[in-house]
Amino acid sequence: MRLATTAAELPERPRDGTRAVVMTMGALHEGHLTLVRRAREIGTQVIVTIFVNPLQFNDPGDLDRYPRTLEADCALLEAEGVDVVFAPSVDEMYPGGDPVVTVSAGAIGDVFEGEHRPGHFDGVLTVVLKLLHLTSPDVAIFGAKDAQQVIAVRTMVRDLAVPVRIEAVPTVRDPDGLALSSRNVHLGSDDRESALSLSRALAAAEAAARNGASAADVIRSGLDVLTSAARASAGLAVDYFSALDPRTAHEVAADHRGEAVIAVAATVGGTRLIDNTTVLIEPEGPPS
């Protein structure tokens, strides 16, 4: 496995075969490795990028606290058969400071995660587009846990005609249902129990959808779980629990019929977590 820290050190594209890239900020866990294994299945050459992107952090303290474990990450990736790890410095990615020209996420960047983290998706898309240019993959693999990010990336690739296929891999969870995240290391035992209310709320919404509930009732089912959990724990603060249009990331109407992404975000003991699931909403009876 090769470690590249500059764009000049990246290898040439394979003449025959497929180059797959997985973009990460490091502090790798089983969720990331699942993406890498999928990339290994479809790519003859696999590149994993590790870059903690300052443009997508609203809080400088959050940026400083983000774990940086390059040596351990490289050991994990070598065991997975990764060909190249691209771990550029901030100066390599943004020579001369913050870029003058950036990508705007548009309306997708103003709702849900974008509303709570202004400018976040502009920063995400700017670094994703730059990494796509630098690594020139045939396919880029992302985790479905960051549903709004996947929607934003797919929209950017479509609108800017970037020649890459975007593939989303299902969320990886611990046995208790908690979605894997690098931020989970900050959860104490009591916080973790509170954090489980996110996946339980999503499970309640899934069950309601399977039973023919309307979009409004699907959301109400999940909110009931979160409301009960918030009463039991002062350390749980819910930002949103909503049904999103899988193409635009905007909230669907109460009478929506069809696929929807049920997304949740909450702060648990000072740690902000997100999760989601996709459901098919087909209420019983004719549309109102």
- Active site positions, annotated: 32
Q: Are 246 and 260 in contact (CB under 8 A)?
A: yes
Neighbours of 21 (CB within 10 A): 24
Where are the extended beta strands (E) located within 105-190? 139-143, 165-169
Dihedral sign computed on CA atoms, order 164, 168, 49, 65: positive
Q: Which residues have a Cβ under 8 Å from the Cβ of 190 and sit 6 or more positions away?
A: 233, 235, 269
Q: Are 215 and 256 in contact (CB under 8 A)?
A: yes
Neighbours of 42 (CB within 10 A): 14
Structure-token pair, residue 237? 């603060």
